[in-house]
Amino acid sequence: MMGYGWGMGVGGWVAMAVFWVALITLIIWLVTRAFAGRDARNDGGPRGLPPTESPEQVLDRRYAAGELDLETYQRMRAVLASGRSNGVGGPR
């Protein structure tokens, strides 16, 4: 005859099952949160980053910020325009 008091009993097994389910759920939640910032946006970039700028937009922004002088800006704009007309760097 086996006496009670040996082993975990039903309550111990239920507590252990709840613990493992909670632990696995926590791990899955943490992994999904870690990769949540990498979901795709309309432009394919990660969330939290600004949308990808076109070369012309980057050039305009740099000129507006005073990083480029007028001559350099116009020269680079002409290079970009000639590249587009030659079929180089077409639409993304």
Other beta carbons within 10 Å of 33: 9
More reliable by pLDDT, 35 or 85: 35
Residue spans of the domains in the chain: they are 9-38, 55-85
Contacts of 59 (CB under 8 A, 6+ apart): 68, 73, 76, 77, 80
How much is the pLDDT for 20? Answer: 96
pLDDT tens digits, residue range 28-71? 999 988 887 665 444 555 555 566 888 899 999 999 999 989 99
Cα dihedral: 27, 32, 34, 40 (round 10) = 170
How much is the pLDDT for 87? Answer: 61
How much is the pLDDT for 88? Answer: 55
How much is the pLDDT for 34? Answer: 86
How much is the pLDDT for 45? Answer: 53
Query: CA–CA separation, 13 vs 21, rounded Å?
Result: 12
